């Protein structure tokens, strides 16, 4: 999960992503940041994040993002 935090920090610095649980709903990341995050995740983990994963529940915390990545890698 540390890699997820590092990717998030690449997208937006100055945020305590280790403890933040409202990354999207708290408007910490905007739509451009999320698009950038998705591109980085897909490239880093060789996954494809489909439309069914474009929901706040998958992106509101580093842990949620990590769980989504693990789920997609297991497909």
Residues 44, 38: Cα–Cα separation, whole Å: 10
DSSP helix/strand/coil, 45: helix
Angle CA(7)–CA(13)–CA(17) in degrees, nearest 5? 65
Strand segments, DSSP code E, in the chain are none
Boundaries of every domain in the chain: 2-73
First-to-final CA distance of the chain: 19
Task: Assign a CATH topology to domain 2-73.
Answer: 1.10.1200
What pLDDT does 31 receive?
94
What pLDDT does 41 receive?
98
Q: What is the pLDDT of residues 29-66, one digit of tens each?
A: 999 999 999 999 999 999 999 999 999 999 999 999 99
Contact at 8 Å (CB) between 5 and 13? Answer: no
């Amino acid at each position: 999960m540390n890699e997820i935090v590092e990717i998030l920090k690449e997208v937006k610095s100055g945020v305590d992503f280790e403890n933040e649980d409202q990354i999207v709903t708290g408007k910490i990341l905007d739509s451009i940041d999320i698009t950038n995050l998705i591109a980085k995740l897909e490239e880093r983990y060789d996954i494809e994040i489909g439309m069914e994963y474009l929901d706040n529940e998958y992106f509101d915390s580093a842990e949620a993002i990590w769980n989504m990545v693990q789920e997609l890698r297991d497909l």
